[in-house]
Amino acid sequence: MVKIGLLGAAGIATNAVILPVRRRDDVHIGAVASRSAAKEFAARHGIERAYDTYEALLADPDVDLVYNALPPSMHAEWTIAALRAGKHVLCEKPFTMTAAEASRVVATAAETGRRVIEAFHDHYHPLSAWVRSTVDAGTLGRIHRAEAVFTGANRFVPGALRHEPALGGGALMDLGCYPVRWLRSLFPGTPAVVGAEATALNPAGADLRMEAELAFDGGVSAVVHADMVEGVPVRSALTLEAERGRLVVENVVFPSSGHSIRLELDGLPRVSTVAGRTTYDHQLEAVLDGLRTGEPLPTEGDDPIANMAAIDAIYAAAGFARPWT
């Protein structure tokens, strides 16, 4: 039985961990830590132990795996602390604030012999696996253009996590980290950032809309578009233009709530879907299997570092100094 401790009483923990855990009998949530809401959160979700300091949760000998849902600005510090306390960590995205921080986290995992996994839950769904296998098999022929989009309105609230740059807010960090990773999982090598522009900022200076042009080995050009301006619809989509046709995948992030695969190959169109549970169920299963077998997972090791390096490069190309990092 793997025993999980929740680092932070974050709303995302319900769908990401609590509900998937309830659907299994080989894992248990035993504790939660929050500086302000631990007792209320624990009572609401039937969690046995509530701590009002993060240190207390990390000292709990009955916690094997820590789920870090703190703001991104706190990810590196508390993930490193958890690893040094002998815990494995599932860390929410974005992994850290910068690639340099990510490198320190991954180095600590190697030093301690503990695992740290970035929570890109969509990667573990059969839909994402289908896209990767289709590209790897060469079904589309040579791919020359890709577009990766994640949008969703988020009303500005001063000091709110998603709108405060110093906490890790902004469209690229909150939404764009997903499209960056989709592209990196499909095309080898380190992408070059050809250009980037933030066309909307909030009063705190965070990017509300970011678009970046990337170039991958093999001549693939790609666009990343992230947008949380008020009024923009929710959409997570991947489009690939290739010599044999076109692939459009809608709702990459939450496919269990409805998605579509539109493939036009040699002039013949078809629409399909891929069966699967929630992305979070698949992620939890992969994490537990990885801990049991010792097999490395795709969202750990060098992968989180590379994703943060791409994000760093996009911000630099867009002219963001990011003094808070």
Tell me if 71 sits within 8 A of 9, measured CB to CB. no
3-state secondary structure of 8: coil
Element (H, E) at 6: strand 2-7
The answer to whether 66 and 89 have CB atoms below 8 angstroms apart is yes
Bridge partners (DSSP) listed for residue 193: 214
116-118, strands of its sheet edge to edge: 49-51, 27-33, 2-7, 65-68, 88-91, 116-118
Helix ranges (DSSP H) in the chain? 12-13, 19-22, 38-45, 54-58, 75-84, 99-112, 126-136, 171, 177-186, 279-293, 302-317
DSSP tag of 297: -
The DSSP secondary structure of 13-78, one letter per residue, reads HIIIIIHHHHT-SSEEEEEEE-SSSHHHHHHHHT-SEEESSHHHHHT-TT--EEEE-S-GGGHHHH
Question: Cβ–Cβ contacts within 10 Å for residue 22, how many?
Answer: 13
| Coil, helix or strand at residue 260 | strand
Among residues 3, 39, 87, 93, the one annotated as catalytic is: 93
Distance CA 182, CA 304 (A): 13
Angle at 304 between CA 313 and CA 144, to 5 degrees: 60
The question of whether 93 is a catalytic residue gets the answer yes
Interatomic CA distance for residues 165 and 162, integer angstroms: 8
Could you list the active site residues? 93
